[in-house]
Structure 1
């Protein structure tokens, strides 16, 4: 069994400003940098070392990964956040109520079905071709939540909790299926 850690990026300027981020980008804040360092410390204290590392193409994900580990990594387009089309960089109060369904499609964004298929297929293919025993993937809240909906935990309790910046979701992978282990907030650990 392999272990994969899906981690959300640190807090960004758009997070603080209450803006929809999606495929657009904004820099990590000082707090976001500290969150990345706390995640690094959590992994080190737990004795977790990565054989491989991946992140989305967004700078906020790459910058977070570089705070956690100095090892080489690969940026993967399929790990990007949900595409919100014309809603990118707009105030979050414009978001519809969850579930979003196909709300963003007429505005040039992705549907819930599209993001789920993209993130699910991307992580599955990465892990099926990755020989490392332990892998770190830094992505985004929406993308990770949609992945989690494909591979839910037995009691569903963690699925209802908000995924904090630098929140870590641990899965075991047997070559075909992912098995939820835990959700960790390094700031609270």
Structure 2
């Protein structure tokens, strides 16, 4: 049996300021820091004496969350930029209204999974899927029985899709509703050779 706890980072400054996140390197708010501590305690209660390996996006809001968790669990930490949120290019750090005003929708004859929204520097959904699938393979290859992955809401959906074996070509349309500070659980059952999304977005630890 292998278990992977997927944590979406808690409240960050771009949330409260109404700004586009993506690769904009926002920090945790004071509330977010407190929430990260609660996430760490919830994971400690679930894991008991087990020490997981810990993987995180390199953006500040996820890295700080992961450092708080690693400190509580005594877990080794690997920083993986492929666990980042989707880049929104020039829109990163701008008001959400700016992004909505500048989005260019895909045409009916266009492959929407490779559409860049008309904003310079924006990643296509397929580009995000490809790097997240690569990150998930590295996590799977890690020999630890338990792992914790700290990432972003949009990225989490693609991690789940990769875990359950959704083909890359279909994964760009995958959507699993998660919220800031949620903990989801992935489980590999070696006996049945099954990859399970065992729990989606636990939030009771946030109070």
Indicate the TM-score class for this superposition, using the shorter chain for normalisation.
Answer: 0.7 to 0.9
Change (3 A) 1:119 1:125: same
Question: Quick one: distance in 1 between partners of 2:89 and 2:125?
Answer: 13
SS of corresponding position for 1:81: coil
Spell out the pairing of 1:24-173 with structure 2 (5 A cutoff).
24-48=24-48, 49-70=50-71, 71-93=75-97, 94-95=99-100, 101=113, 102-104=115-117, 106-128=119-141, 130-151=142-163, 160-161=176-177, 163-173=178-188
Does residue 185 of structure 1 match 2:203?
A: yes
SS of corresponding position for 2:47: coil
Larger radius of gyration: 2
Aligned residues: 182
Give 1:110 deviation, angstroms.
0.8
Question: Quick one: distance in 2 between partners of 1:170 and 1:46?
Answer: 11
Question: Quick one: distance in 2 between partners of 1:109 and 1:3?
Answer: 33
Question: Quick one: distance in 2 between partners of 1:98 and 1:172?
Answer: 37
SS of corresponding position for 1:4: strand
Give 1:109 deviation, angstroms.
1.4
SS of corresponding position for 1:26: coil
Q: Say whether the 8 Å CA contact 2:25–2:59 is kept in structure 1.
A: yes
Q: Say whether the 8 Å CA contact 2:39–2:181 is kept in structure 1.
A: yes
TM-score by length of 1: 0.83
Q: For 1:64-110, what per-residue CA distance to the aligned partner results, in whole angstroms no more than 9, with x for missing partners?
A: 01222213301111111111111111112324599984244652111
Q: Say whether the 8 Å CA contact 2:91–2:119 is kept in structure 1.
A: no
In structure 2, the partner of 1:156 is: none
* RMSD (Å), alpha carbons: 2.8
Structure 2 unaligned blocks of 5 or more: 107-111, 166-174
Q: Say whether the 8 Å CA contact 2:39–2:206 is kept in structure 1.
A: no
Structure 1 unaligned blocks of 5 or more: 154-158
SS of corresponding position for 1:46: helix
Question: Quick one: distance in 2 between partners of 1:105 and 1:125?
Answer: 32
Q: For 1:89-146, what per-residue CA distance to the aligned partner results, in whole angstroms no more than 9, with x for missing partners?
A: 1112324599984244652111111111211221122222x11000011111111122
